[in-house]
Amino acid sequence: MTNWRQIAPTTVTLGAMLSGFLSILTTVEGMRSGRTEMYMRASQLIMLAMILDGLDGNLARFMRGSSEFGAELDTYVDLTAFGIAPALLIFAVSMQSRDPIWRVILPSAVALSGVVRLARFKVRDPLRGQAGYAGLPITANAAWVALFVFISLAPPRDAFRLDEGPVASLFLAGIVVFIVLQVTSLHYPKPSKKLALFVPCAVLVALLWALSHRMAVRVAVFMIVLGTGYVVFGPLFVKGVAAHKARRDAKALAANGAAPNTED
């Protein structure tokens, strides 16, 4: 970092890192004290880290302050806030009534899938996701975990349990699907690059903190629906954009080829 144009977005990145780390500490405190409301706060911190993680890139592009240091730091943020923090939340809140082996295996799979996803991203994508992602971004699974946990702990808490029942099965099945999609070659767009998409998402996350529990739960459910739509339709959108670009390029090539030669 050599100037304030680089320092400002990097400071936001560090804020995202801190949010992820505080989520981990909050989950650990919840396990130590038995205060389950701490898990709700931990899920909010994951979502806050997600918004800060998107904000730093937009800020760097706006200020022309992109740097290799900031791009490298972002990888560690992803691992901490969207790999380890949600894995620990799964361990803490969703599997107490299940076989202890599975209680360890699923969070471990989340962490390992995230590491593989980020390592491949770093090695194979020199554009750092600016042209889209190969494989589901790690933030998708983190949001799935955080939002489900948030909803399950909002009053009345017994209405949306994650340790048993059909909702718990949906929650755990979604995690398995997401961690598999993370290591596939399916292409996903980068919504945080578009301010028209990023700003409404930032507002929704802010509402998780600002609204009453009843209203915040509705916002969380809406965000789960949006996220599921991204997971299902994201690759189709990328294919559609690529097909449109190919047709446009073909038409342009045909038009240039058919144009009369005026050089003589």
Question: How many whole angstroms separate alpha carbon 87 and alpha carbon 90?
Answer: 5
Does 233 map to a domain? yes
Domain that holds residue 95: 4-258
- pLDDT score recorded for residue 180: 92
No. of helices (H) and no. of strands (E), the chain: 9, 2
pLDDT along the chain (264 residues), means of 10: 78 94 96 90 96 87 78 88 94 70 84 87 63 83 94 72 78 91 88 83 92 90 94 89 80 69 48
Does 33 map to a domain? yes
pLDDT digit string, tens, across residues 150-180: 998 877 665 577 767 788 888 889 999 999 9
Amino acid 62 reads F
Phi-psi region of 135 (alpha: psi -120 to 50; beta: other; left: phi over 0): left
Question: How many whole angstroms separate alpha carbon 2 and alpha carbon 43?
Answer: 35
Give the total number of structural domains in the chain.
Answer: 1
Does 203 map to a domain? yes
**pTM of the entire structure?**
0.86
Does 104 map to a domain? yes
Question: How many whole angstroms separate alpha carbon 121 and alpha carbon 186?
Answer: 13
Does 192 map to a domain? yes
Does 184 map to a domain? yes
Does 263 map to a domain? no
SS3 sequence of 159-214 = HCCCCCCHHHHHHHHHHHHHHHHHCCCCEECCHHHCHHHHHHHHHHHHHHHHCCHH
Does 152 map to a domain? yes
